[in-house]
Structure 1
Amino acid sequence: MMAKFCKTVLILSFLTFGTAGNLQAVPGDFGPADFSRVLTYAHLNYLDRRSIDEERGYVDAARTAINSMPAPLELLPASYLDRRKEFSPFGVVMPGKVLKLPWTDKYVLFQIDASKVEEIRNKRDELQKKKWDGLNQDQRENEARKLKEKQQVQRKVLDDMWDATGFDGQDFTRIMSWIQDNRLRFGTSPESQPQESEEEEEEKPSGPPSMNFYYFQAARGFLKSFDPHADLLDSKVWEKIRKESEDATFEGIGAILRGGDEEDVIVETPFPGSPALRSGLKAGDIIRKVDGKSISNLSLREVVKRIRGPRGTVVSLEVDRPTDLTTREIKIERDVIERKAVDSSYLKEHKIGIIHIRSFLFHETPITEMVREAYEDIKKEAGGDPAGLIIDLRNNPGGDLGEAVRVTGLFMEEERIVTSLKSNRNSRELESDGYPVLPDKLPLMVLVDAGSASASEIMASALQDYGRALIVGDRTFGKATVQQIQPLETNSSRYLVKLTIARYYAPNGYTVQVHGVQPDIRISDQKDGEFPLRFREEDMWHHLPELAQKDPNPQREKWVQALKKQVDPKQAEKYLKEHENDAVRPDYMLQRALPYLKAMIQEKD
């Protein structure tokens, strides 16, 4: 079943719950021949083969392999050493020593002094707090934009410096040989600590990683040089991702994290209703400490282990919030986290149903079937069709393309083109089935935000283009590319290549790449009603470029303006003010959106 599924599925998910590198699950015999095979497959099947930069691919492959070593090492152009202070936070440079390579002086290895990491981190934190505490909200956002621009400049500088080195396939081979000769010497992390959890102990690697691990990481780095969504996965990791997308019950705080190792650990999103969300943790928060201990240079797996724990216990997280440039301590009481791909609720006082679709990725039960069951549950509670329905796609990172098309069809009366795929070889249109679960005239609203990506953007743009739903919330993530999961095999195991093979287009012929789906009515999810900076496609390095934006629709804009005139936003703000001290924080976006759906219901009546 796995082989058949992998050959046919098209994945649009922008987020995975753990990467092959983080889980240390890689095929045991992945070697140089497999690395070459991945490159050959990628060159033949990538969306835009002309855009592939071979030299940049080898640079990223070598850097990823070096960064995967347990010891804190970086591969850098020699010319970058003089500019480290310029790009270091607050000008405080992480100390270390340069390791010169015998065959070149154009690039070097830099070994960070692990004993100084926490000291430097604390120093940066103090300077950051001193600078940020005196800023108002507008000044904080301005500083946050400057920081983002500085990071982009740093990336561009590094790219240009690497281009100047002439790094190529021969250099990559030399780096892999260096790793082979030094993997024992640098095969232990100086900050290694005993594990506090026995969870998944059988997956814990023993001793220094072998060369198959480094070749696997190098292949991942090469693929990611194409665009940020290409990747390489061990089949067991992929199976786990699919299972957890459908049902991942555990004890912890309820949040998706990304990063780790040499990268910051960032909160991708707290789960709705989770202890993390109730305690104030937000998407984009950068975790610096867990229970007072720095997590700098720890793997994502180790960070997750420190955060998870038995229900009823408390974990303390120190986080930086880039959107307002503050540092804060957040204490979270752990609980049992039940995470289903789809759930539903019914607001009896409003006669409105809500279906929350968290993912379009599944393991055994198709999302289409879950959505049908969710609507039937609403009908049972309502005693028939509700007066209106909300589809909540917030923080839905995407999933299976076919499911996105089929689920969209559940809310349209006729067979319609939901999306079009265009690659360097061909194009094709994907239509809905025309078997809706609700009456065509039933008022429908879709909630979206910056975490709504890929498959959820396909659904939102189709329902908007056909005038079937009012789209409310914030601009979506802006990922309009399709990744295919293709199985390849070593002599004894299987791995999966995740490769961008097409762009997708909305029914009206535009693409939401970078632009995102623009909501009909923009509504904040913040207490103060503001729209802080969010992490989106444009923040990912080497993303595919945007194309022409969607043409205006005067008729729809006229309808939306008429709808706005029927709503008094002050009523929602009054409700939120009255409930701001509730044990569970109110859903700011939902409460602000409800009056517009009520206005649509009144229009229908």
Structure 2
Amino acid sequence: MKNKKFITLGFASITVSLALLFSTNLFAYTEAAKEVKESSRLEALAKFTKVISIVEQYNVDDITIEELMDKALQGMMSNLDAHSNYLTQKDYKNLKVQTNGEFGGLGITVGLKDGALTVIAPIEGTPADKAGIKAGDIILKVDNQSTLNMTIDEAVSIMRGKVGSPIELTIVREEEPKPLKINIVRGIITIDSVYTKSIGNDIQYIRVTNFDKKVIDEVAKAIKKRKATTKGIVLDLRNNPGGLLDQAVGLVDIFIDNGDIVSQKGKNKADDEVFTASSQNTLTKVPLVVLINGGSASASEIVSGSLQDHKRGIIVGQNTFGKGSVQVVLPINEEEAIKLTIARYYLPSGRTIQAIGVKPDIEVFPGEVTTNKNDFAIKEADLKKHLEEELEKVDGKIEEDEAQEDSKYIITDEAINKDMQLKVGVDILKALIITKGL
């Protein structure tokens, strides 16, 4: 027993000694690693300072230390990723105007894609949209100024201006053999983020143009208003450049009652967050089709991708833009700031959106539905009704103003046939309604 006790105690003491030795070595290694890292930082800063001094002394043009630092910061931030940037006094002021005040602009959202200034989406009803700017257009020049090596904020600053002032964009479009010059007159940008229409008697069409602070309330109101008669919903997110994260999360929550919606992960654990659905916020479980295209970005990709992962809706259209990163504006002082990417979004399945986008379940390219239909070729059973309607038009019983008023709330078959993506979406939805016996 004594020997056994001695052996046990001896083993314990050896273990303690080894643990202390390992702990001491680990502490020494950690301290050494910190010293090496700090030494590397000092060497890098010394190199930076030396380069600044050389340029200031020998550069052919006179340049101040302040100008050099601005250029160095701009270069550093823009090389991190396509969305990070250093905001000078002018840039920071423009950003505040954009978020807080009224400004003249074109009505487009732009981003850098493969190093080129690319239109994410024109905002519906704005000067750019009316002039024919399309998602995916590459902006080669703004007036006569090349956009090569231009940051997003610089481009936005140039395109924004006095209401009523003209601007010329030179764009490259995939299907066009040579660059196009498009003239636009700047206007006040006002946006209706949500509007709804009816397709037949039982399908509700909901268009979300951007994710501002009104989206959840407006969509919820529209769904509740027609809940008794709605058997299916088309959610149109085409050319929606994104917006507020909480609105995207809330929109998904309207359609699903449990599970993760989206998560964000960054370098700092404090930036990590998981957003989950709640059954209390779910308003409908009717069949759902979501329309997307290359102009659907950021928050639109979160909504469509999350609904796809939950198998809650059929995604129709084209691959989305592929912006799955989170930016914050961090002030340096009262006049300057940096815009920095701090995290990336991940869909419920764990996949990322960044540079990949959301792939539709059914790929459909834009275009019109072509038919050889004779407008007067109708069935015998419809003949009387058809002739009565034609007679009413002749007699003036259907006023033009009334027809226009109806078009605000109803999508006609003629309009659907001019939009191949919508036509496919509606056909799928009708099949789902029949399958579910609604």
Which band: TM-score by shorter chain? 0.5 to 0.7
Residue by residue over 1:152-194, the C-alpha shift from the partner in whole angstroms, topping out at 9 and shown as x without a partner, is xxxxxxxxxxxxxxx965554344346656899467xxxxxxx
Aligned length: 347
CA contact (8 A) 2:170 2:180 kept: yes
Say which of 216, 231, 235 aligns to 1:371: 216
Report deviation, 1:391.
2.5
| C-alpha distance in structure 2 between counterparts of 1:316 and 1:415, whole Å | 49
* 1:357 equivalent in structure 2: 208
Residues 116-157 of structure 1 show CA distances to partners (whole Å, capped at 9, x for unaligned) of xxxxxxxxxxxxxxxxxxxxxxxxxxxxxxxxxxxxxxxxxx
Equivalent residue number for residue 385 of structure 2: none
Q: Which of the residues 115, 118, 124 maps onto 1:272?
A: 124
Residues 350 and 216 of structure 1, relative CA distance in 2, 3 Å threshold? farther
Structure 2 CA distance for partners of 1:330 and 1:495, relative to 1, 3 Å: closer
Deviations 1:42-76 (A, max 9, x none): xxxxxxxxxxxxx9x9xxxxxxxxxxxxxxxxxxx
Counterpart for residue 278 of structure 2: 433
Of 347, 369, 382, 2:198 maps to 347
Q: Which one of the candidate residues 428, 431, 434 is aligned to 1:599?
A: 431
Which of 237, 240, 250 is the equivalent residue of 1:406? 250
C-alpha displacement of 1:522: 0.9
Give the Cα separation in 2 of the matches to 1:333 and 1:318.
14
Residue aligning to 2:295: 451
2:180 is the alignment partner of 1:304: no
Aligned counterparts of 1:255 and 1:400: Cα–Cα separation in 2: 17
String of CA shifts for 1:271-294, please: whole Å, max 9, x gaps.
22334334332233344566xx62
3-state secondary structure, aligned to 2:280: coil
Report the equivalent of 1:176.
52
CA contact (8 A) 2:121 2:240 kept: no
Aligned equivalent of 1:227: 81
Do the aligned partners of 1:576 and 1:591 also contact (CA within 8 Å) in 2?
no
Q: Deviations for 1:414-468, whole angstroms, at most 9, x for unmatched residues? A: 232112444556565321233335322x222222222333333222222112221
Cα drift, residue 506 of structure 1: 2.2
Shift of 1:231: 3.4
- Provide closer, same or farther for how the CA distance between residues 419 and 211 of structure 1 changes in structure 2, counting only shifts above 3 A: same
Question: Are the aligned partners of 1:375 and 1:437 in contact in 2 as well (CA < 8 Å)?
Answer: no
- Amino acid paired to 2:144: S
Partner of 2:8: none
Say if 1:235 and 1:496, in contact at 8 Å, map to a contact too: no
Match of 2:341 in 1: 499
Q: Deviations over 1:353-387 (max 9, x none)?
A: 34333444x5xxxx3x532224414654x485533
Paired amino acid for 1:418: I
Q: Contact (CA 8 Å) 1:248, 1:338: kept in 2 or not?
A: no
**Structure 1 residues 248 and 460, CA, compared in 2 at 3 Å: closer, same or farther?**
farther
Q: Tell me which amino acid in the other structure corresponds to 2:337.
A: Y
Segments of 5+ residues of structure 1 without an aligned counterpart are 1-54, 58-166, 188-209, 530-571, 579-585
Uncovered stretches (5+) of structure 2, i.e. residues with no partner:
1-39, 371-410
SS of the equivalent of 2:136 reads: coil
Query: Does the residue aligned with 1:347 lie in a helix, a strand or coil?
Result: strand
Change (3 A) 1:402 1:214: farther
Counterparts of residues 567-578 of structure 1 (less than 5 Å): 575=414
- Take 2:368 and 2:267, find their aligned partners in 1: how far apart are those partners? 45
- The alignment partner of 1:410 has SS state of helix
CA offset at residue 343 of structure 1? Answer: 1.5
Q: 1:401 to 1:256 in 2, by over 3 A?
A: closer
Native 8 Å contact 1:473 1:522 kept in 2: yes
Q: CA deviation at 1:516?
A: 2.3
Alpha-carbon distance change, 448 to 175 in structure 1, aligned in 2, over 3 angstroms: farther
C-alpha separation in 2, matches of 1:452 and 1:355: 15
Q: Say if 1:241 and 1:449 are closer, same or farther in 2 by CA, change over 3 A.
A: farther
- Give the secondary-structure state (helix, strand or coil) at the position aligned to 1:330: strand
Give the whole-Å Cα distance in 2 for the aligned partners of 1:486 and 1:302. Answer: 17
One-letter code of the match for 1:419? V
Find the counterpart in structure 2 of residue 477 from structure 1: 321
Structure 1 residues 248, 493: CA separation in 2 closer, same or farther (over 3 Å shift)? closer
Aligned counterparts of 2:435 and 2:81: Cα–Cα separation in 1: 45
Partner of 2:361: 520
Once the two structures are TM-superposed, the CA of residue 519 in structure 1 deviates from its matched residue by: 0.9
SS of 1:319's equivalent in the other structure is: strand
Q: What residue in structure 1 maps to residue 21 of structure 2? A: none
Give the Å deviation of 1:301. Answer: 5.4
Once residues 239 and 184 of structure 1 are traced to their aligned partners in structure 2, the CA distance between those partners, rounded to angstroms, is 32
3-state SS of 2:255 partner: coil
Is the CA contact (8 Å cut-off) linking 1:288 and 1:294 kept in structure 2?
A: no
8 Å CA contact 1:524–1:589 kept in 2: the answer is yes
State how 1:538-549 maps to structure 2 within 5 Å: none
2:127 is equivalent to residue 295 of structure 1: no
User: Are the structure 2 counterparts of residues 212 and 435 from structure 1 closer, same or farther at C-alpha, using a change threshold of 3 Å?
Assistant: farther
Which of residues 419, 424, 449 in structure 1 aligns to 2:262? 419
Query: 1:528 Cα deviation (Å)?
Result: 9.7
> Aligned letter for 1:215?
M
1: distance between equivalents of 2:342 and 2:353? 16
- TM-score where L is the length of structure 2: 0.62
Aligned position for 1:387? 231
Distance 1:217 1:471, change over 3 A: farther
- Counterparts of 1:199-348 in structure 2, within 5 Å, are 211-212=65-66, 214-233=68-87, 241=95, 244=98, 253-257=106-110, 266-287=118-139, 294-296=144-146, 300=155, 303-304=158-159, 309-310=163-164, 317-322=169-174, 324-332=176-184, 336-340=188-192, 342-347=193-198
User: Post-superposition shift, 1:241?
Assistant: 4.9
CA, structure 1 residues 386+397, in 2 after alignment: closer, same or farther (shift >3 Å)? same
Query: How far apart, CA to CA, are the structure 2 residues paired with 1:348 and 1:296?
Result: 45
Q: Which has the higher contact order (CA 8 A, sep 6+)?
A: 1
**Cα separation, partners in 2 of 1:181 and 1:400, compared to 1, 3 Å:** farther
**Distance in 1 of aligned mates of 2:92 and 2:282:** 31
Q: Distance in 1 between matches of 2:158 and 2:268?
A: 43
Q: Which moved more, 1:170-179 or 1:275-284?
A: 170-179
- How many Å separate the matches in 2 of 1:181 and 1:305? 37
AA matched with 1:598: K
Structure 1 pair 603/528, CA: closer, same or farther in 2 (3 Å)?
A: closer
CA distance in 2, matches of 1:257, 1:428: 27
For the 8 Å contact 1:314–1:331, the answer to whether it is kept is: yes
Structure 1 residue 225, shift from structure 2 partner: 3.3
**What is the percentage of aligned positions where both structures have the same residue?**
29
Assess, with a 3 A threshold, how the Cα gap between structure 1 residues 177 and 255 changes in structure 2: closer, same or farther: same
In the superposition, relative to structure 1, how do residues 421 and 309 fare at CA in structure 2: closer, same or farther (>3 Å)?
A: closer
Counterpart residue type for residue 415 of structure 1: N
Select between 295-304 and 342-351 the one with higher mean Cα deviation: 295-304
Q: Do the aligned partners of 2:258 and 2:276 also contact (CA within 8 Å) in 1?
A: yes
CA distance in structure 2 between the aligned counterparts of 1:375 and 1:236, rounded to whole angstroms: 39
Q: Is the 8 A contact 1:389 1:443 kept in 2?
A: yes
Q: Distance in 1 between matches of 2:246 and 2:70?
A: 29
Residues 524-562 of structure 1: CA deviation (Å, up to 9, x unaligned): 135699xxxxxxxxxxxxxxxxxxxxxxxxxxxxxxxxx
